[in-house]
Amino acid sequence: MIKLGICNELFEGWELADVCRVVKGLGYDGVEIAPFTLAPLITDLSKEKRREIRATVEDAGLATIGLHWLLAKTDGFYLTSPDADVRRRTGDYLVALAEAARDLGGSLMVLGSPKQRDLLPGVSYEQAEDYAVEAFRRIMPAIGDHGVDLCLEPLAPSETNFLNTCAQAEAVIARVGHPNFKLHMDVKAQSSEAESVPDLIRRHARAAGHFHAQDVNLQGPGMGDVDFGPILKALVDSGYDRWVSVEVFDFSPGAKETARRSIECLRKHLDAAQGTP
């Protein structure tokens, strides 16, 4: 059954316990964490602190979904660099993130990080794909051993020039061939593709390990022009039964208002899609 979560960076400046209390009170099932809200580098976060964070989330009656914005606000990591040492460090850091995700009680990570995968000068798309596949083949056994799915996110051409469509991401996933390496889908990102978001869901959602919901105006579901009825119906009809997390980029309406309006929209359309009274 689809569960509803929300990403924690929306609540900038809030104590985690307060985030969890509000999120639970609004009816969410889980919270998804951006690592930079916890520490400059995930390796700076002690085992004791990880246990405290997990307890705070679980004591509120929520689940830690996992991590996203994996490489945001870091330096020195680059997935498609021609420098093998840079790719190795990047891969090792992703494994460290997977260990942290497990320690926090999470089961997935979303790899978007457009500025750590853009094509560098002199690197073709084909070369970049080979570099990425090499890196993923090396690290996925360790990530899988932590019980974590790594979900690869195609992003719009306005954000990156590498992996812009679900089909391109699935081609990389197929080349890597690891059961914990999955597709991530996102309303804003997939709105840049030629097919509609519901059509893309019907085509790709069975391969998806995670889903982000937001409007193309960068605010939450129900706060713009995107019709989430067909989107939730396509998810339900496709058999998708994992998390749908609210991820927004325009925080201006306020965290609590955004969270409230988002879950009201998603719950209404999810109940209709599932035939729930």
In three-state form (DSSP H/G/I as H, E/B as E, the rest C), the secondary structure along 225-258 is: CCCHHHHHHHHHHHCCCCEEEECCCCCCCCHHHH
User: CA of 194: how far to CAs of 164, 165, 189, in Å?
Assistant: 11, 9, 12
pLDDT, tens only, 206-231: 889 999 999 999 999 999 999 999 99
pLDDT, tens only, 105-137: 999 999 999 999 999 999 999 999 999 999 999
Mean predicted lDDT score pLDDT of the chain: 97
Q: Given this model, what pLDDT does residue 139 score?
A: 98
pLDDT, tens only, 194-207: 999 999 999 999 88
* pTM of the predicted model as reported, rounded to 2 decimal places: 0.97
**Residue 35, pLDDT above cutoff 80:** yes
**94: number of Cβ within 10 Å:** 25
Gap between the Cα atoms of 179 and 188, Å rounded = 26
Confidence of residue 2 (pLDDT cuts 50, 70, 90): very high
**Residue 96, pLDDT above cutoff 80:** yes
* Residue whose entry in the numeric block shows the structure tokens 């985030």: 19
**Residue 103, pLDDT above cutoff 70:** yes
**Residue 277, pLDDT above cutoff 80:** no
Neighbouring residues of 81: CB distance < 8 A, sequence distance ≥ 6: 87, 90, 120, 131
What's the average model confidence in pLDDT over 1-27?
A: 97
Amino acid, single-letter form, for residue 166: C
Phi first, then psi: what are they for 82, rounded to 5°?
-70, -10
Across 112-229, the runs of DSSP E, i.e. the strands, are: 149-152, 181-186, 208-213
Q: Given this model, what pLDDT does residue 275 score?
A: 87
**Residue 44, pLDDT above cutoff 90:** yes
Q: Given this model, what pLDDT does residue 276 score?
A: 76
**Residue 233, pLDDT above cutoff 70:** yes
